[in-house]
Amino acid sequence: MTTTFRGLATIRYHADDLTAARAWYSEVLGIEPYFERPEYIEFRLGDYRQELGISRTPSAPAGVVAYWHVDDVDAEMARLLDLGAKEHEPLRDYGDFRAGAVLDPFGNVLGIMRNPHYLEVLGEHGQGATGS
């Protein structure tokens, strides 16, 4: 059986203050949004250029939880906390996986994970992704 779901395309978070969210995520991701409208911004990032969108939706729920692969989970968690995020799920080991999550300054859950299966897809077999 085949599926039409072939990978992560877009994750959308919500923020009452889109200007602050734009600045914070630009700092976290190290890039500027590639698409902007008054009520929505979107970044393309990672090895497969997945999309992260943020919409201005006052009083919205926290939104979707997505775990993004990172090569050094401990360093990235520390960086997110330094940038104003709050710990939501402490870093934990799940066999070969290591994951945790933070709340961004806008109430969204942002998950990070070192995932050996992601690296296998890239053909790196645990050697670490270089990103783009």
The H-or-E segment that residue 29 falls in is helix 18-29
Q: How far apart are CA 67 and CA 22, in angstroms?
A: 20
Please indicate whether residue 63 or residue 85 has the higher confidence score (pLDDT): 85
**Whole-model pTM?**
0.69
* Model confidence at 49: pLDDT above 90: no
Percent of residues, the chain, with pLDDT higher than 70? 81
Q: What pLDDT is recorded for position 20?
A: 96
Unique residue bearing structure tokens 């945790």: 100
Q: Which domains does the chain have, with CATH numbers?
A: 10-122 (3.10.180.10)
